[in-house]
Amino acid sequence: MLVSGKNILIDAKKKKYAVGAFNVVNDVMIRASVDAAVELQSPIILELAEIHFKHSDFELIAKEVATIAKRVEIPVVLHLDHCKDFNNFIKAIKFGFTSFMYDGSSLPYEQNVKMTKQVADIAHSLGYSVEGEIGHVGEGIEYDMLQTSKLFTTPEDASKFAKETGIDFMAIAFGSAHGIYKSKPSLDINLLKKINNVVDIPLVLHGGSGLTDDDFKNCIKNGICKINYFTELSLFAKHAIRVLLNDNDNIVGYPEILDASYKVIKERVKNRILLFGSYGMA
C-alpha cells in the first residue's frame, strides 16, 4: 500500500529502528526493493532523485511504484529526493508521490526556510510528508573532513529550522557524504546526539553507502530513522553484471543482465533492512 512517510518514521523513532530509503531508476530496482521488503515484512521508502531524471521517466516511475504498492500489504512510500526545482515538486504531486524532500541546503538560511515551508504547507494540506535539509551533505568524491565539518548542522540551526518550516523529518550533516568516498568517512556521533536531543522529528542520514555496520547502528541508536542508500546498490549491480559477462559472454543477453541485477539488488536491500532493524515492522 502506498503511504506518506511521516507515520512510518514516527514509529521508527519511537522503536529505535530506521527505514531504508532506496533510490530507484528503473523497474528492476523497484521490483527488487519491494520484493525484499515484502519477504522481510518491512516498510520501505522508494526514492527518485531529481538528479536521476536523465535516467528515468519521472511519471512512469511513479506509476510503476503505485501499481506495485497496490499489490502488497506493506507500507511503501514514494519519495521525491533532493528536489531543488519547485516545478518538479508540483509535478510529483500530480504523478502520485506521497513524500517530498525540498533541498534548499545550498541556499541562504532564510531562503531555505521560506522555500521548504512553502513545500511543507502545500504537501501537508494534501496529507503528504516533507523532508528538509539544514547544513549541507556534500559529495564523497570531494570528501575532506576538515572542509566537510564547516558545513555540519548545528543543534541551534536544527531546532530553529524544524520549528520554522514545520517539516516532518530532517536531513542533517554530521560527516556523511553522497556517492563514493575518496577517504574514510568520520561521523560526529556526539553532534548527532546533541541534535537529536533538541528536535522532536525523525532525523535522516544521506550518504549511506560506504559506512560500516557499526556506523549505521550508532546512527540509529542516536536518532537516525531514515537512511538514504543508492550508490552501493548501483555498484553491486555493476559487479554482478561484470561477473556474468566475463563468465558467459557468448550466451548472455539483456534479459540475463536484468535478472542478475534484480537478484543482487534484492539481496542487498534485504541485508540493509536486517541491519536497519525494520524487518517485521510493516
Residues classed as catalytic: 81
User: In whole angstroms, what is the distance from residue 17 CA to residue 219 CA?
Assistant: 10
User: In whole angstroms, what is the distance from residue 180 CA to residue 211 CA?
Assistant: 10
Phi first, then psi: give them for residue 191, nearest 5 degrees.
-65, -40
User: In whole angstroms, what is the distance from residue 136 CA to residue 104 CA?
Assistant: 9
User: In whole angstroms, what is the distance from residue 100 CA to residue 91 CA?
Assistant: 11
Phi first, then psi: give them for residue 124, nearest 5 degrees.
-65, -35
User: In whole angstroms, what is the distance from residue 215 CA to residue 218 CA?
Assistant: 5
